[in-house]
């Protein structure tokens, strides 16, 4: 039929208040209560010789504009005149379903992002149920064969420290700089610009699982200090979680100790998190440069 949305009304029935000739392009209806154009009607639905399906595009007062007559299911393809008092009724018909299918096809064609979901470069759209068009473009994640299998596309990042160790001075927290990425779905991290940060891109606000690990020497640099600590810090000011390992005198012979931390953090677009390390040996210590086991920082989106 056509790429359009119509407005059916349950249990609607009325009559013609004026005769409708066989070539008329409008008709006058006695009661239009509840009608919202455009819509389909059938005139004289109970007559096998006079039944006619019509499409009403505009309703002005009680006058309905009828640009399409003698639709499929009508008793004839032309020549039907309907007298004053003829019944008009709204019923389920094949035209409504055909229009709906055409509308779906048109939206799919107009917005190729709704097709080819096995590809990795499509944006998703919210559809407007009133107009049948696109209400908003939704920043979404890549689609893949995994999505077809029922898996959600991954959104997140894992940054690490490789080749060169990161040094932490004694006595104050330092944000670890990450110089490598195992994966980064949406440019959360940059190895050169603000390398300490995992930053939420536009359109990806939500709840993030944040996880970090540092491997620092346990042996004494000076006295050995009292502890090794790490923190997850949000936007340079807010501590979201902390972990501490106390150091005893008997620990001086330990070559290294891993400190791990996990937190669920609510992040808006442009928010960022950092992994902070602290040691108090009295000297500078190195964070092991091994992004698989010695030093990494990661987060992934778990919900909105």
Please state the separation of Cα 223 from the chain's center in Å.
Answer: 53
CB hemisphere CA count around 230 (13 angstroms): 23
Q: What is the mean pLDDT of residues 202-220?
A: 86
* CATH number of the domain located at residue range(s) 1-110 in this protein: 2.40.30
According to DSSP, residue 290 is labeled -
Pairwise CA distance, residues 243 & 231, whole Å: 6
Reported as a single tens digit per residue, the pLDDT across 250-282 is 455 556 778 899 999 999 999 999 999 998 888
User: Which pLDDT score is estimated for 245?
Assistant: 83
Higher pLDDT among residues 32 and 134, named by residue: 32
- List beta partners, residue 58: 65
CB hemisphere CA count around 225 (13 angstroms): 25
139 contacts 205 by C-beta, under 8 angstroms: no
User: Which pLDDT score is estimated for 149?
Assistant: 53
CATH class, range 156-303: mainly beta
Residue 17 has pLDDT above 70, yes or no: yes
Alpha helices (H) along 131-233: 145-148
SS3 110: helix
Q: One fold for both 1-110 and 156-303?
A: no
Residue ranges per domain, the chain?
A: 1-110, 112-151, 156-303
Higher pLDDT among residues 79 and 163, named by residue: 79
Residue 112 has pLDDT above 60, yes or no: no
């Amino acid at each position: 039929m056509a790429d359009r949305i119509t407005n059916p009304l349950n249990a609607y029935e009325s009559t013609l208040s004026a005769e409708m000739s066989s070539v008329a392009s409008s008709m006058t209806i006695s009661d239009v209560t509840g009608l919202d154009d455009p819509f389909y009607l059938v005139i004289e639905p109970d007559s096998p010789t006079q039944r006619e399906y019509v499409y009403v595009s505009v309703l002005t007062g009680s006058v309905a504009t009828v640009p399409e007559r003698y639709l499929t299911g009508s008793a004839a393809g032309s020549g039907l005149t309907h007298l004053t008092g003829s019944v008009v009724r709204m019923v389920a018909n094949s035209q409504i379903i055909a229009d709906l299918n055409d509308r779906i096809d048109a939206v799919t064609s107009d917005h190729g992002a709704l097709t080819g979901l096995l590809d990795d470069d499509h944006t998703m759209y919210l559809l407007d149920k009133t107009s049948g068009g696109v209400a908003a473009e939704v920043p979404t994640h890549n689609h893949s064969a995994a999505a077809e299998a029922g898996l959600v596309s991954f959104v997140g990042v894992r940054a690490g420290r490789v080749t060169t160790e990161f040094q932490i001075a004694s006595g104050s927290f330092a944000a670890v700089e990450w110089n490598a990425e195992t994966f980064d779905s949406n440019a959360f991290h940059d190895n050169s610009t603000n390398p300490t940060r995992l930053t939420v891109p536009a359109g990806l606000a939500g709840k993030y699982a944040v996880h970090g690990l540092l491997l620092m020497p346990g042996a004494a640099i000076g006295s050995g200090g009292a502890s090794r600590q790490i923190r997850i810090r949000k936007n340079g000011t807010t501590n979201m979680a902390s972990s501490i390992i106390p150091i005893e005198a008997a620990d001086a012979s330990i070559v290294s100790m891993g400190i791990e931390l996990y937190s669920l953090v609510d992040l808006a677009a442009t928010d960022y998190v950092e992994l902070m390390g602290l040691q108090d040996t009295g000297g500078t210590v190195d964070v092991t440069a091994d992004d698989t086991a010695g030093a990494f920082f990661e987060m992934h989106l778990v919900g909105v």
